[in-house]
Amino acid sequence: MKFYAIIVAGGSGKRMQTTIAKQFLLLNNKPVMMHTLQAFYLSEVQPEIILVLSKNDHEYWKDLCLKYNFDIPHTLVEGGKERFHSVRNGLMTIKEDGVVAIHDAVRPVVSSSLITHSFKDALEIGNAIPCIKPSDSVRQLDDNSSKIIDRDKLVLIQTPQTFDLGQLRIAYQQSFSATFTDDASVVEAAGFPINLIEGNRNNIKVTYPEDLELASFLLKNNIPG
């Protein structure tokens, strides 16, 4: 059985208040997504890595790899207009059957344990989507008012989202829809049930400046996400 990981790197620096795309920001002396690729490369399953990146950033990434002596094997693929199209581009490079994890490039603290569990569970039940329960109270906005929502009925979805390749190929034959917020929503729209697994609160997505500081602390102290 072949294992693959599609790392999607399409973020910008808007919410980080920087002109540099967040996947390229320095985290403990090297770009964020180098930590992400390394996490998959050093995991128990050691999947083949496919990095999906805007074509405009390919040369920049290659220069960074030389600068930081980054030699983890990976296939570089051109990104698309939306995340949906980027994932589909990555998927099209895979010719064999197997299991594939799709992961945000800016979740650099993902643990080897979560990666391994997601692959093993997807192998057994078709897909595995990590989630955590919200710890804060949640309210739903409605025009100028809001109402409380039972947080025990909600979960927050993370990546890696891991799928049997046959399932994912069928799902990505659909046309793009604005309702596709992640890969699980694409697969669900194709008629497949979604299987949730336990995620990790430290598996943070670097979105705001304080996230970068937290990720640095977690990595320095070897606290898995």
Is 15 within a domain? Answer: yes
Is 127 within a domain? Answer: yes
| Total of domains in the chain | 1
Q: Give the domain CATH number at 34.
A: 3.90.550.10
How many whole angstroms separate alpha carbon 4 and alpha carbon 40?
A: 10
Is 188 within a domain? Answer: yes
| pLDDT tens-digit series, residues 11-26 | 544 545 567 889 999 9
Q: Which domain holds residue 154?
A: 2-220
| pLDDT tens-digit series, residues 58-68 | 999 999 999 99
**What average pLDDT does the structure give for the chain?**
94
- What percent of the chain has a predicted confidence (pLDDT) above 90? 89
Provide the whole-model pTM: 0.94
Is 225 within a domain? Answer: no
Rounded to an integer, the average pLDDT of 90-118 is 97
| Chain centroid offset of residue 25 CA | 17
Residue-level pLDDT at 35 = 98
Residue-level pLDDT at 222 = 87
How many whole angstroms separate alpha carbon 73 and alpha carbon 197?
A: 28
Is 183 within a domain? Answer: yes
Is 177 within a domain? Answer: yes
| pLDDT tens-digit series, residues 173-205 | 999 999 999 999 999 999 999 999 999 999 999
Give DSSP secondary structure letters for the chain. -EEEEEEEE---STTTTSSS-GGGSEETTEEHHHHHHHHHHTSSS-PEEEEEE-GGGHHHHHHHHHHTT-----EEEE--SSHHHHHHHHHHT--S-EEEEEEETT-TT--HHHHHHHHHHHHHHSEEEEEE---S-EEEEETTEEEEE-GGG--EE-S-EEEEHHHHHHHTTSPP-TT--SHHHHHHHTTPPP-EEE--TT-----SHHHHHHHHHHHHTT---
